[in-house]
Structure 1
Amino acid sequence: MPAALLALQKQIDFILEVDKLKTVLRKTKPVGLERYENSAEHSWQAALLALSMAEHAPVALDIDKVIRMLLIHDLGEIDTGDVIVYAATDNAEREAEELAAIRRICGLLPQAQAAGLVALWQEFEARQSAEARFARAMDRLMPILLNLNRQGQSWRENGVSKQQVLSMAASKVSDGCPLAGQWLLHALDEAEKQGFFGA
């Protein structure tokens, strides 16, 4: 088989494998729906949120890179499942498991393409660039927006306090997009008044 067809087959194998991300359920529900969202939906929406809010980044960004990060950032959950950010887990162990999963999944691709995606995922996880910090901000902001529009559904169901949201999610939003962080502080104060938190 010609090399181009072999490469194409690897890319098809990859895209069919990542279809499994649609089966990974999260703890938040989409606006107006009573089912839980899946990680593929979250990744798509976080990428679109980043595209929509890029003008508010504190520095000029390579927005295409941000979108690529967000499209792949949860692929490891195909193997590891989703864990709510507020859960008490061993973060180092979890990251190692996700890295192994990312390497397996991206390893379906041609070697250079796989290496590029793994490096992009590692950059996102390490927040070592403005793009990674902005992408992480959008990743953390999206479920907060869903909770704010569903009367704290996931926070109430999982016993999440306002302090947990501030320290584990809102701080990452502020780090990557200070303006969104300012907005969020006001929104969380209002959410507290309305009883949206679970603890």
Structure 2
Amino acid sequence: MVNEKLLKDIEFIVELDKMKSILRQTSLIGKEQREDDAQHSWHISVMAMILAEYSNEEIDLCKVIKMLLTHDLVELYAGDTFCYDKSANEDKREREVAAAEKICNMISDDKGREIRELWDEFEEMKTPEAIFAASMDRLQPMLNNYYNNGGTWRKYNVAQSDIYKRISPVKKSSDELWNFVENMLDDALQKGLIPKK
């Protein structure tokens, strides 16, 4: 007889496979193909490993990576909300909270509670780990846009002020990464990758 708790864990793991089919607006660098949530989560987790040394504060890297691997699980049921779509973002919080409840109830109490605590901490963006995790989450699509000739910035005519607002967690987490971001966005503006508004 197979342990019931194990069966529940396996069912949860199988459900996570859907992350591979939730498409984001961001395209893969150099391709027309849009990235999916699983690719995004993997990429930002590796970014955190590589870029953690640039954090202004001491951070628990393992916790950051756990946040990055789980922060978009809510999109299994809430879908991906494009960050620059103001109307779609109006009810985003409600949809994602409902999705978090559903997801965390699918797995054993201790594991569900850990995922929910990580998700809540990421969303509140108050701890050094959450701020650094948010920085990776925001920096990755910006790199894709920059290296894709403007990507979604150009496609959706995103204002420079909105881009700076979106990337602002980097300013709180790392002076060196913020300097890089400012240089990248200045260059993007000069190259016409960001509309002049």
For Structure 1 versus Structure 2, the TM-score category normalised by the shorter chain is: over 0.9
For residue 88 of structure 1, give the secondary structure of its aligned residue in structure 2: coil
**Which position in structure 2 is the counterpart of 1:135?**
133
**Which position in structure 2 is the counterpart of 1:152?**
150
CA distance in 1, matches of 2:142, 2:158: 12
**Which position in structure 1 is the counterpart of 2:189?**
192
**Which position in structure 1 is the counterpart of 2:100?**
102
Q: Please tell me whether residue 10 in structure 1 is matched to residue 8 in structure 2.
A: yes
Give the counterpart letter for 1:186 in structure 2.
N
Q: Which structure is higher in strand share?
A: 2
Runs of 4 or more above 4 Å deviation: none
For residue 28 of structure 1, give the secondary structure of its aligned residue in structure 2: strand
Q: Give percent identity, aligned residues only.
A: 35
CA distance in 2, matches of 1:141, 1:175: 13
For residue 196 of structure 1, give the secondary structure of its aligned residue in structure 2: coil
| Structure 2: unaligned runs, 5 residues or longer | none
| Structure 1: unaligned runs, 5 residues or longer | none
> Which residue of 33, 48, 66 corresponds with 1:50?
48
Q: Please tell me whether residue 182 in structure 1 is matched to residue 174 in structure 2.
A: no
Structure 1 residue 186: deviation in Å? 0.9
> Which residue of 110, 113, 131 corresponds with 1:112?
110
Structure 1 residue 91: deviation in Å? 4.9
Please report the TM-score for the alignment, with normalisation by the length of structure 1. 0.93
Distance 1:96 1:178, change over 3 A: farther
Give the counterpart letter for 1:127 in structure 2.
M
Distance 1:139 1:122, change over 3 A: same
**Residue 162 of structure 1 contacts residue 197 of structure 1 at CA under 8 Å; is this kept in 2?**
yes
Aligned Cα root-mean-square deviation (Å): 1.5
**Which position in structure 1 is the counterpart of 2:32?**
34
**Residue 57 of structure 2 contacts residue 173 of structure 2 at CA under 8 Å; is this kept in 1?**
no
CA distance in 2, matches of 1:68, 1:89: 30
Please report the TM-score for the alignment, with normalisation by the length of structure 2. 0.94
**Which position in structure 2 is the counterpart of 1:25?**
23
CA-to-aligned-CA distance 1:33-82 (integer Å, 9 cap, x gap): 21111111111101111111000111111100000000011111111111
CA distance in 1, matches of 2:116, 2:73: 11
